[in-house]
Amino acid sequence: MQFALLYNETPEEQGRRDTADAPAYWGAWSAYMGAMAAAGVMHSGQGLLPPATATTLRTAGGKWQVHDGPFADTKEQLGGFVILEVPDLDTALEWAARAPCAGAGSVEIRPVMPPPPAG
């Protein structure tokens, strides 16, 4: 079964990427991602730059409305995601609990939608 793990970080946690604490921050994430890759459960995944780099687009009556920043400001921000190939939700939860952001932020686990029925 495929699950998406969406890693939500607090702004403070994500801010560590640009401080003297960066080696510890990246060390924790690369160890975690490396363990998933080595266990053969990782289908794909990406990290994301902070919400300040986001551009949001909406169309209304054929016109583009573009603004800087994320769609909504929230306490936690999406820092990245992976798609896991694991037998069940319990295994997905085990991997989610190992994420460096599981303590201060959160991990949202969503089953990947199966293809819609044909015809």
Partner 1 sequence: MEARRIAEDAARTAYGRLLALLASRSRDIAAAEDALASAFAAALQHWPVSGVPANPEAWLFTTARRTLGAARARAATASAGEAMLAQLAEERAEAAMPDFPDKRLKLLFVCTHPAIAEAAQAPLMLQTVLGLDAARIAAAFLVTPAAMGQALVRAKGRIRAAGIAFTVPQPDVRPARLAAIRSAIYAAYGTGWEALTTADGRLAGLAQEAEYLARLLLAQLPDDPESAGLLALILFCEARRSARRDSNGDFVPLSRQDPKSWSMPHISEAEVLLRAAARHHSPGRFQLEAAIQSLHNHQRMTGEPLSAPLLGLYDRLLAVAPSIGAAIARAAALAQAGEPAAALAALDALAARCTSHQPWWAARARALHASGKRDAAQLAAARAAGLTTDPAVRAYLLSNKFFSD
CA distance 66 to 47: 23
- Total residues interacting with partner 1, rule: CB under 8 A: 22
Contact flag: residue 34 with partner 1 (CB under 8 A): yes
Contact flag: residue 6 with partner 1 (CB under 8 A): no
Give the position of tokens 């994301």.
48
Q: Of 55, 90, 117, 118, which one interacts with partner 1 (CB under 8 A)?
A: 90
Q: Of 71, 104, 108, 111, which one interacts with partner 1 (CB under 8 A)?
A: 104
Structure-token pair, residue 90: 């319990």
Contact flag: residue 88 with partner 1 (CB under 8 A): no
- Find all residues with CB under 8 Å of 79, minimum gap 6, and list them: 7, 8, 9, 13, 14, 47, 48, 101, 105
Contact flag: residue 110 with partner 1 (CB under 8 A): no
- Is-contact 70 51, C-beta < 8 A? yes
- Where on the chain is the footprint of partner 1 (CB under 8 A)? 24, 27-28, 30-36, 38-39, 89-90, 93-94, 97-98, 100, 102-104
